[in-house]
Amino acid sequence: MRFTGTAILSALAIPLIAHAAAPTPAPSPASAPAPATAGPSTNTGPVTWADFLTSCQTAGQIALTYSEGPSEATMEMLETLKEGHAKVTFFTNATWLQYMQYAGVTRHAYLDGHLIGMTYRLPSDTSAGRTDAELKEDIARASRTIQDLIGVYPKYMKIHESNLKDARLLNLVKSMGYTLVGFNLDEYDYKYNTAATSSQIAEVYNAMFSKQNEAYGRKASYIVTGYDVPSTGAAAGLPKVINTIVAHGYDMVRLDGCTNDKTPYKKDPILNNGFVGDAKSFGALEYKHGQTQVKAVTYNPANGGGGSGSGSGSGSGSGRAGKSADGKGSLKTSAGSRIGVAVITLVVPALLAFLL
């Protein structure tokens, strides 16, 4: 099956196709279109993949992004990232922040110098039956929850897969000044999600870098999509991913480094009235990029690594079970904890069937 020309951009089919594509996604040409810029938008027409940020401005950069956390997997990833001196972007699902242990993990991620964006999923998965004002308020509520914790309102936004075809939502989010984030590399952590297969995640990167190099003889830039939830192999696969990035000479950046954006947070959760930076934003004193080789970190939550203290109230019916008993839990699927990933694996094939 082949897609060509503008047909590719005319539908939101691309992110969905990317999920179901062969394990080695096609390389993205270094001359990929410039990323969509943030800011006021008067566009109320159909939203296409071109409205999403899908690559960086500088060849050789790679921005790892993780959605749907914080979770039991996030703390292990923070340990690995710290060892590799690497910064990434977390799209926080504000719903989980009402649980103290997850709020702690997100704050930890922010203080470690990672960029905090937000994921958003419509209540009941549809914008129908709600006014613009109600939708804006729901988005803003999620944003305020994050701001309460880290002091700034997120600007970079990942829309949940099941809402990607809701043009009204996407236009609204754009008009509010949020930057819609897509990707051009899917690390397939939801597919390589067992102890035996998580090392395959690094092979996805390896294959992409190698193909790009063979085809064009120069580096491209990447925005990677991953999921910091325990039912994926993201945490277990991360050490090898970082080492693969080192081996190919790419430079790990947060999304603000990827877009040369000195103001990666919003001034207001609803109004499109400007942006702010903080001490760790691109161009500021404490901004960091790059990475160093890591050993496979042995994550031991019992020794203070955990963001989820035992007995700290995660049994409150949230459906997110507490940390697994063996304390290694990143590959353990806690019961019912990762509905989002179930949606990806169940809904995406259904959408694909529809689109193709």
Ligand X SMILES: *[C@@H]1O[C@H](CO)[C@@H](O)[C@H](O)[C@H]1NC(C)=O
Q: How far apart are CB 320 and ligand X at their closest, in Å?
A: 10
Count Cα neighbours of 163 within 13 Å in the Cβ-side half-sphere.
22
> Binders of ligand X: how many residues, by CB under 6 A?
9
Residue 142 binds ligand X (CB under 6 A):
yes
> In sequence order, what DSSP letters do the residues of 282-346 get, joined into one string?
TTSTT--------------GGGTT-SS-TTSS--SSSS-----TTS-GGGS--TT--HHHHHHHH
Q: How far apart are CB 222 and ligand X at their closest, in Å?
A: 25
- Sign of torsion over alpha carbons 107, 229, 118, 143: negative
11 vs 339 by CB, closer to ligand X: 339
- Options 94, 159, 173, 176; binder of ligand X; rule CB under 6 A: 94
| Helix ranges restricted to H, the chain | 5-9, 13-20, 74-83, 100-111, 132-150, 167-175, 200-216, 234-248, 255-258, 339-355
Q: Are 81 and 60 in contact (CB under 8 A)?
A: no
Residue 74 binds ligand X (CB under 6 A):
no
Distance, in Å, from the CA atom of 141 to the CA atom of 98, rounded to the nearest integer, reads: 12
Residue 190 binds ligand X (CB under 6 A):
no
Q: How far apart are CB 5 and ligand X at their closest, in Å?
A: 34
Q: Considering only 41-49, 93-101, 172-180, 270-278, which stretch makes contact with ligand X by CB under 6 A?
A: 93-101
DSSP 3-state of 154 = strand
Distance, in Å, from the CA atom of 89 to the CA atom of 71, rounded to the nearest integer, reads: 15
Residue for token pair 């161009």 = 283
Burial status of residue 22 (CB atoms within 10 A of its CB: 0-12, 13-18, 19 or more): exposed
Residue 71 binds ligand X (CB under 6 A):
no
Q: Are 54 and 246 in contact (CB under 8 A)?
A: no
123 vs 283 by CB, closer to ligand X: 123
Candidates 229, 234, 191; CA nearest to 345 is 191
Q: How far apart are CB 339 and ligand X at their closest, in Å?
A: 5
Residue 95 binds ligand X (CB under 6 A):
yes
Distance, in Å, from the CA atom of 18 to the CA atom of 9, rounded to the nearest integer, reads: 13
97 vs 297 by CB, closer to ligand X: 97
Output the CA–CA distances (angstroms, integers) from residue 242 to 187, 297, 318, 328, in the order listed. 12, 12, 33, 20
Residue 136 binds ligand X (CB under 6 A):
no
Residue 69 binds ligand X (CB under 6 A):
no
115 vs 169 by CB, closer to ligand X: 169
Residue 93 binds ligand X (CB under 6 A):
yes
Q: Considering only 33-41, 97-105, 118-126, 222-230, which stretch makes contact with ligand X by CB under 6 A?
A: 118-126
- Options 74, 80, 119, 198; binder of ligand X; rule CB under 6 A: 119
229 vs 241 by CB, closer to ligand X: 229
81 vs 118 by CB, closer to ligand X: 118
- How crowded is residue 7: how many other Cβ atoms within 10 Å of its Cβ? 10
- Sign of torsion over alpha carbons 128, 131, 137, 140: positive
Give, as ranges, the residues between 280 and 339 that touch ligand X (CB under 6 A): 339
Q: How far apart are CB 230 and ligand X at their closest, in Å?
A: 14
Structure tokens at 5: 């020309």
222 vs 227 by CB, closer to ligand X: 227
128 vs 279 by CB, closer to ligand X: 128
Residue for token pair 């609204």 = 172
Q: How far apart are CB 14 and ligand X at their closest, in Å?
A: 22
Residue 121 binds ligand X (CB under 6 A):
yes
Q: Considering only 19-27, 91-99, 103-111, 325-333, which stretch makes contact with ligand X by CB under 6 A?
A: 91-99
Q: Considering only 13-21, 90-98, 167-175, 243-251, which stretch makes contact with ligand X by CB under 6 A?
A: 90-98
| Residues making contact with ligand X (CB under 6 A) | 93-95, 119-121, 142, 339-340
